[in-house]
Amino acid sequence: MTAIMTAMTGVIAMKAPTAEPKLKFCGITRQEDASKAAALGACLMGFVFHPGSPRDLSPKDASVIHSQGVPRVGVFVGQDGREILPVMGEAALSYAQFHGAQTKEDAEIVGPERVIRVFWPETARDPDSFRRELEGWANHAAFFLFDAGSGGGGHGRGIPEKSLGLLGRSPKGYLLAGGLTPDNARGLWPGNDGKLLGFDFNSGVESSPGIKDHTLMERAAMLWRRA
């Protein structure tokens, strides 16, 4: 666990605009896709625990997929902190991604250093209220993730440009999600706020839900790498 946290401290601290972004491949359902993500240098690997998702796994099924040292993230939508904890243990998760209505109390149960809090910029009433919401979570999460839509995930589209402008108000480093593909992610790095840590790829590198396209994964991983 110490090695995992040390590795992720590097991710959170990384802000240099010339550095490569960190990559998270989410919605992993097969060993071959997990192995490919690890081989490509992913910093995080995501497993979905939500019955409404075509990528849903049981904790047992996730536990037998080896991540080869890459920290593991569980994506939770409807579960509270007490429901999340045993899943984290069984599936050997390093982080719980709060992708639903989980509270700060749930974060304290899981441990703030193990929480990735998801926000949806499109739901912001105004910039100041969005900033206050983010600041309220600053001490209850390791870092943030911004997604498209008004809740949940897997929308297959990006965050509108007008909403992307709100991300600079984040008090913490963050990952960006929302319909990212090797074609549309390039222009988003290094970002304009110095806090964008990297990208979360899911449906944009798939041939069908839960089945990763290894060629697309390779393209995503190579986008910012120098020859």
The reply to whether 46 falls in a domain is yes
Cα(178)–Cα(204) distance, rounded to whole angstroms?
A: 9
Q: Record the pTM.
A: 0.88
For strands 95-98 and 72-76, give the pairing.
parallel
- Contact criterion met (CB below 8 Å) for 86 and 119: no
The reply to whether 193 falls in a domain is yes
Task: Quote the number of domains for the chain.
Answer: 1
Question: What is the span of the domain harbouring residue 70?
Answer: 2-8+21-222
DSSP 177-215: -SS--TTTSGGGSS-SSS-EEEEEESGGGEEETTEE-HH
**pLDDT tens per residue across all 227 residues of the chain:** 333 333 333 333 334 344 678 999 999 999 999 999 999 999 999 999 999 899 999 999 999 999 999 999 999 999 999 999 999 999 999 999 999 999 999 999 999 999 999 999 998 999 999 999 999 999 999 999 999 875 666 656 678 888 888 888 899 999 999 999 999 988 888 655 678 999 999 999 999 999 999 999 999 999 877 53
Cis amide leading into 190 (omega within 30): yes
The reply to whether 13 falls in a domain is no
**Which CATH number belongs to the domain containing residue 149 in this structure?**
3.20.20.70
The reply to whether 15 falls in a domain is no
